[in-house]
Structure 1
Amino acid sequence: AWPYLYPWPQRPAGLVETAFGELAKRWLPLLDFFEEQGVDLCYEIHPGEDLHDGSSFEMFLDLVKGHKRCNLLYDPSHFILQGLDYLEYIDLYHDRIKMFHVKDAEFRPTGRQGVYGGFQSWANRAGRFRSLGDGQVDFKAIFSKLTQYGFDGWAVMEWECCIKSSAQGAREGAPFIQSCIIQAVEKAFDDFAGAATDQQMLDNLLGIGRKDA
């Protein structure tokens, strides 16, 4: 369905629904096989694919009846290039995110080009992939949200920069990821050192006078 994302003349009614119905028919047996093996299948959501954002993923998920093995590979760089809120995406789909590509990107639209890039080379596009730390992705916020939701998978560096060499990108990228990894708290900072509940103290604080039954 991707060639019909922004068509003119307008696409005929039912075209997208037919395409997604066919996708579901082809993928359901594979998802069932993944279930038999106890393995998650993770779709990398990005432009060029029918599943390119949250809405298209939800359409597909509905048609495969919310299959438990239908999950996501999270890569914020693809959302930077679309102008999609990649942090709220985690809030919406964290229970389906099972893989994580740590890849940076930047989007700097001009009077000449925007999301579509004007058929320019990667280096000359408004939206382009960058080495870790050189783009606009807020990885501190991403790692915080993933930790908040209990993500326990790998943080995998993916390099596709059009400016910096892969060797330098790898040297800088590994420690960059390490600096973002969060050790989750084991208890709240204000839980009074895990003290047991003292009902009498609670009653006194609230001014509640209790009478024995």
Structure 2
Amino acid sequence: MYVATYVKNIIYDVLKLKNQYNWKPQFYCKNDICTSINNFYSTYFVDIPDINGNSTSCITYTCIYENIDSNKCNDICDVNGIDYSCQCSYDTECLSNKCYKNHCVFNNETPIVHCSDSYSDKLFLGKSSYIYCGKPPNNPCEQGDECSSKLCMHNKCESVQDYGPSDSNGVQTGIEGSIIFAGIFIIIITLIIIIICCYCCKRRRNNRNQSNNT
């Protein structure tokens, strides 16, 4: 899947972003076009550009059918002390593309695509980061791979990972990896030298034995 984001009218493939230690990249995507998010406002709303770069505001706040029917969903969303309506009238107003009883609802047919920094812990190399795309936080899930955070608990996608490497960890990891590889290289060379020495000693011993026998 090609997932791109408009940044200053230039398309970048967000899946190619790796080891972004100085920021925690997050993206919301629609029709394979993504927009970066980095503020609390994006918890409820996001501006998604089309192929021509024209932005459309969409509601990211979503509920499940049961909570909507029992009036447990927010009608108003508080963003930095300012109240905004979270209600919808048309499917197109929702990033999930599904409006049910004036609320955006989770839609398995066209699930919201959320991409965020994820981390792997590689042997000898420490933690590294990469972009992973899936369902956003609070979406229903059955397993971690469905979620952008790769974390599914109590059938709900958890928040994005926050235990990854820092900016200094990137440099530190590189140094530690180099030291470890150098150590392994030295050990291998030492073992090779020991084996060669043992082989040579054995040959000399065999040659002496043959000479004595003759």
| TM-score (norm. length: structure 1) | 0.24
Structure with the higher fraction of residues in helix conformation: 1
